[in-house]
Amino acid sequence: MPAQNPPDAARVEIVDVPEASRFEIRLDGERVGLADYLRTDALVVYPHTEVAPAHNGLGLGSALARAVLDDARERGLAVLATCPFIAAWMARHPEYRDLAYQNRSRVTD
């Protein structure tokens, strides 16, 4: 299969759909991916992210990861990335590691 070129940014839209607890990435108005979330006042959990197989390799997953993490930063939320894609993306982008949830509970004797 020949390599595909990334779509023009003007054709890509990432929107929060709070009633579905997810972000959607749309290409020319069609949903081609999503990132589910669970959000509280202090934390957001990303359990699942997907991009339609026909659109893999175009950078849409990375655009979605950046958008959801930027949203968490703007809201002042820690991020618990249980989704392997989001967790790996954060590990590869040190500028987002400060968002990673740190368990601060302590066990006492």
- For each of the chain's 109 residues, which pLDDT tens digit applies? 444 666 776 689 999 999 999 999 999 999 999 999 999 999 999 999 999 999 999 999 999 999 999 999 999 999 999 999 999 999 999 999 999 998 776 666 6
Helix 84-92, helix 60-75: angle, nearest 10: 80
Q: What CATH number has the domain spanning 9-99?
A: 3.40.630.30
- Pairing state between β 12-17 and 22-27: antiparallel
Q: Which two tokens stand for residue 95?
A: 């500028």
pTM of the model: 0.86
Q: Are 99 and 69 in contact (CB under 8 A)?
A: yes
Residue 73 DSSP label: H
Q: Are 51 and 25 in contact (CB under 8 A)?
A: yes
| Domain boundaries of the chain, sorted by first residue | 9-99
- Cα angle for residues 74, 77, 78 (degrees, 5° grid): 130
